[in-house]
Structure 1
Amino acid sequence: MKLAAPLKGVPPVYYGAWLLVACFLLSLIYLSATNSDALSFSFLGSQMSYSVTAPASSTASSNQQFGTREKEGIERSSPCDLKFNYCEVDDRAVLDRSRETVESLNNNNASTSVDQLQRSPTTKAEMSDRSPLCDLSNYRSDTCEIKGDARVAGKDSPSVVAVLPGGSSVQSWKIKPYARKSDPTAMRNVRQIDVRAVVDHIAAVPRCDVTHTAPAVVFSTGGYLGNYFHDFTDVLVPLFQTAGPFAGEVQLVVADFKFWWVGKYLPYFNRISRYPIIDFDRDERVHCFRHVLVGLRSSRDLIIDPASSPARYTMLDFTKFMRETYSLDRDQAGGARGRRNPRLLVISRARTRKFMNVDEIARLARKVGFEVVVAEADFGGVANFSRLVNSCDAMLGVHGAGLTNAVFLPTNAVLIQVVPFGKLEWIAANYFRNPAREMRLRYLEYTIGAEESTLTELYSRDDPVFRDPESIHKLGWFTMGAIYLDKQNVRLDLRRFRPVLSRALKLLRN
């Protein structure tokens, strides 16, 4: 049987030579497919380098090699400043490098897209972690957590985009990242952010201007901020609960940015994050992250539920954090301080719910056995006032924002809350009694009678204000607050109040 017709013009004697050349070439092809090392050989007197990429045992292994090379490139590249947690990136240059990498991969990994490599490789097992997980069930705050490729665009397009490595589904959420979502009045002053999950396609997502190495937390400083109580309940405590576990290695992205407000708590922000804050509303760049949290985890006012905190934080952890942040000396009430008597801080108020007989209250406390300091809460000078609070063993005040300073008291100190007239015990319990116990403070409560309220100067005793306070509550928060919180001052019955002071002294001495 003829296998091939003789080639015209080629003597049969050369067939054997051509056969040897073909065998040599087949041997080279075999070595290329099996040898994982780079081969160098001399051919016709010239040195030739031939690189062979090792067959990837899995997508993950080849991707890991790419990720390592990219990391080394970032560390050597001048556009990146790891000290300030950002890299200035030209997407076109990244894309060109990615294409070169794709060409070097073997057919087993040929399905990896160029844009996927641009952002960093992900195995199929990790794909589920890429999609945003938005929890809208919490009554205090909505939160989304994105792991993978997340792009934050603020000024021109207020959005956080999660780029999925595959699939066709697209989802979106509307998030107001402020921890008081059940209060429509507060939320009117909070910017809405679009959180979107989009398909992996380079033309469908914002191009990266800055790539960050640390995760990001996106939140708002709108709402009721400026009120000392809400400063803590709506941002400072939830932000600690959310960003604290990163131990400073976290980038804060702030919507409704209030420069003066951040400056007020600058020691706190310098400790919660090592990096300059990104102004979400004014920054024109697109910031890219591998991990983004939109919204703040929040439990209750001045309370952290360990079950909702990745680090299992409690309010005791928060108070310790604040003492360390402001370099406060005392962790425990009592102890040697060069004083014989426990120290009591009486919080005075200049306007509503103020003590009308504060001097008599101070004299009574000294007779009982306290060293007494009377001061109005300095909501602007947090550092100085925190030191005064921490120097005391007990704090006394009428229900109001000033009692928020309990976060600076040493553990086992005593907090005495004076509750104004008007069936306000439930407010007192939720805002300060329950949090005080979570901070491991001893708590005492004194509810004034009608005769101790200056409302007697404004309303007759037959008025529903005295006769039926619950009917006033049914008129709504603002009506109730205008009467029982804004118009009322307190004149303590000292004989009736003295046992409370005696009880506080006994708790401290025992």
Structure 2
Amino acid sequence: MVVLMEKEMKYDEIFARSFSRHDQKRFGYAALVGCFIVTCCLCTVFKPYLAPLPVLNVRLTIVDGLKLVMGTQQTNKPQRPYVGVKERKLLCNTTKPRSDTCEMEGDVRIQGNSSTIFVLSSHVGNASWTIKPYARKGDESAMQRVTNFSIKAIQQEAETMPKCTKMHNVPAIVFSVGGYGGNNFHAFTDVIIPLYATSREFNREVRFLMANKHSQWTTKFQEVLDNLSRYEIIDIDHDNEVHCFSSMIVGLKKEDRKELHTNLMKEFIRFLRSSYSLERSTTIKLTNRSIKRPRLLIVSRQKTRAFMNLKDVVGAAQEMGFEVIVTEMNANMTQVSRLVNSCDVMMGVHGAGLTNMVFLPENGVVIQVVPLGKMEWLAKTCYGEPSKAMGLKYLEYKISEEESTLKDQYPHNHQVFVDPFTIQRKGWDAFRSIYMEKQNVMLDVAKFKERLSKALQLLHE
């Protein structure tokens, strides 16, 4: 080891003596210049591989009816002035049981009266979808009344993208009030609640593009619409403009088949109270010393499923300590909401009028009178389960054959009484014509007082 070190030291001395101090400096400078030249050559050769790379992530999946197309692209190239974003997204979901939706970001253009939406999406390729933006998917009768929207993904703008005539700097939601939207129950379950679930994240900074629009509908729900969007609604079926957005949702989000329901039901109820400036958030709390009487609202009907002995029912309720109000629901939602909110108990025969239970204060009681026709499942689905999700107490009263006016139209042993399922199997029209349109109710007041007594008990709890 010592010998080796001595040899290395001698080698260094010989190397040092071989060059003068000036020569050593010249040698060091030359080596430095040589390294610099080699580095420049390497950069020139590998320059294409060292430049910033665009990040591209594209995914295309089709599973069990789900058409999912999603892509994001980031690049150093300057963006088009209108789009102004680096991310482009197109996501269409057709797997939900009640609604199809498409969400898109980037350059989105909708040509109103052609019901066509164009999306510039070079990485997706030319693709198209057809969406009916109404949340009762599968109901052919309803969906026949809903406008079809074609969504086209375009690779290059060229001549296939129509020229923008109106620019918007807020997102858009395209939806329809067709279908059964004229019915109060369907207006809430198919449109209002899904619209709330879809638009709430935008905090009113969103524009509504409404299909199958009619003025009576928008007038009826103006307070709700104003509290979801601060912009004027566009009647997209009768619009000749090409509206351009950087973000759009086509269709309303409905996650399940439940009626009058959203996962945000308690929040939705608070939203309604705020929209209509309703004063009461909870019902009266009865005690043995209570002076104020609880208010009972009886929803009356004039044409079908009407109470034939309404005066007797009112008298019995008053004797039990209720302040009774009888009314038929109308289209003035401001008046209806304030009336319902002022009450503690609401009762009525199965029908759209019961939908207004959404305005009852929390812990209010709903009494649904269920007509003949094996309608228990329908009654529970439409109002029983939804009322509980709203923070209400639910009671049911099933009438007997003797309490139905159908006994005056059919013999006692008729299948209308003996086997209602036979009527149901004939289809909805046959079922509705008998049990929904021909039937009125003559309540057994003595029996019904048991339900009223239970309602009072619930108000004490």
Which TM-score bucket, shorter chain as reference?
0.7 to 0.9
Is 2:374 aligned against 1:423?
yes
Is 2:302 aligned against 1:350?
yes
Q: CA deviation at 1:335?
A: 5.2
Give the letter for the 1:315 counterpart: M
3-state SS, counterpart of residue 196 of structure 1: strand
Equivalent of 2:439 in 473, 488, 495:
488
The separation in 2 between residues aligned to 1:289 and 1:451, in whole angstroms, is: 61
Give the letter for the 1:142 counterpart: D
Give the letter for the 2:115 counterpart: P
Equivalent of 1:289 in 232, 245, 252:
245
Equivalent of 1:458 in 409, 418, 421:
409
Which consecutive segments of 4 or more residues in structure 1 shift more than 6 A? 56-60
Equivalent of 1:117 in 69, 80, 88:
80
The separation in 2 between residues aligned to 1:230 and 1:301, in whole angstroms, is: 12
Is the 8 Å Cα contact of residues 285 and 459 (structure 2) preserved in structure 1?
A: no
The separation in 1 between residues aligned to 2:185 and 2:133, in whole angstroms, is: 18
| TM-score after normalising by structure 2 | 0.81
Is 2:274 aligned against 1:332?
no
Q: Measured at CA, do residues 152 and 396 of structure 1 come closer, stay the same or move farther in structure 2, by a change above 3 Å?
A: same
Equivalent of 1:241 in 197, 207, 220:
197
Q: CA deviation at 1:119?
A: 3.3
The separation in 1 between residues aligned to 2:178 and 2:355, in whole angstroms, is: 19
| Bigger Rg, which one | 2
The separation in 2 between residues aligned to 1:168 and 1:391, in whole angstroms, is: 54
Is the 8 Å Cα contact of residues 189 and 261 (structure 2) preserved in structure 1?
A: no
Equivalent of 2:388 in 437, 440, 463:
437
Equivalent of 2:116 in 159, 164, 168:
159
Is 2:385 aligned against 1:403?
no
Is the 8 Å Cα contact of residues 188 and 260 (structure 2) preserved in structure 1?
A: no
Is 2:459 aligned against 1:508?
yes
Q: CA deviation at 1:118?
A: 3.4
Q: Measured at CA, do residues 463 and 346 of structure 1 come closer, stay the same or move farther in structure 2, by a change above 3 Å?
A: same
Corresponding position of 2:17: none
3-state SS, counterpart of residue 117 of structure 1: coil
3-state SS, counterpart of residue 204 of structure 1: coil
Q: CA deviation at 1:305?
A: 4.0
Q: C-alpha deviations, 1:122-178, integer Å up to 9, x for none?
A: 54xx3xxx24211111121111111222111111x21111111x3362111111111
Is the 8 Å Cα contact of residues 265 and 389 (structure 2) preserved in structure 1?
A: yes
- Counterparts in 2 of 1:119-268, with a 5 A limit? 119-123=82-86, 126=87, 130-155=88-113, 157-164=114-121, 166-167=122-123, 169-268=125-224
Q: C-alpha deviations, 1:261-299, integer Å up to 9, x for none?
A: 101111111111000011111221111111100001123
Give the letter for the 2:96 counterpart: N
Is the 8 Å Cα contact of residues 232 and 302 (structure 1) preserved in structure 2?
A: no
The separation in 1 between residues aligned to 2:434 and 2:304, in whole angstroms, is: 11
Equivalent of 2:327 in 375, 396, 399:
375
Give the letter for the 1:427 counterpart: L
The separation in 2 between residues aligned to 1:117 and 1:260, in whole angstroms, is: 41
The separation in 1 between residues aligned to 2:173 and 2:54, in whole angstroms, is: 31
Q: CA deviation at 1:397?
A: 0.4
- Counterparts in 2 of 1:2-13, with a 5 A limit? none
Q: CA deviation at 1:57?
A: 7.3
The separation in 1 between residues aligned to 2:276 and 2:84, in whole angstroms, is: 42
Equivalent of 1:477 in 428, 441, 444:
428
- Counterparts in 2 of 1:69-88, with a 5 A limit? none
Is the 8 Å Cα contact of residues 237 and 302 (structure 1) preserved in structure 2?
A: no
Q: CA deviation at 1:203?
A: 2.7
Give the letter for the 1:295 counterpart: G
The separation in 2 between residues aligned to 1:254 and 1:318, in whole angstroms, is: 21
The separation in 2 between residues aligned to 1:323 and 1:147, in whole angstroms, is: 33
Q: CA deviation at 1:199?
A: 0.5
Is the 8 Å Cα contact of residues 131 and 162 (structure 1) preserved in structure 2?
A: no
Q: C-alpha deviations, 1:58-113, integer Å up to 9, x for none?
A: 879xxxxxxxxxxxxxxxxxxxxxxxxxxxxxxxxxxxxxxxxxxxxxxx95xx37
3-state SS, counterpart of residue 178 of structure 1: coil
3-state SS, counterpart of residue 159 of structure 2: helix
The separation in 2 between residues aligned to 1:316 and 1:390, in whole angstroms, is: 15
Give the letter for the 2:126 counterpart: V
Q: Which runs of 5+ in 2 are unaligned?
A: 1-50, 56-74
Q: CA deviation at 1:481?
A: 1.0
Q: CA deviation at 1:371?
A: 1.2
Q: CA deviation at 1:301?
A: 4.8
Q: CA deviation at 1:247?
A: 1.3
The separation in 2 between residues aligned to 1:358 and 1:339, in whole angstroms, is: 26
Deviates more, 1:254-263 or 1:453-462: 254-263
What root-mean-square deviation, in Å, do the aligned CA atoms of Structure 1 and Structure 2 show? 2.0
Is the 8 Å Cα contact of residues 219 and 295 (structure 1) preserved in structure 2?
A: yes
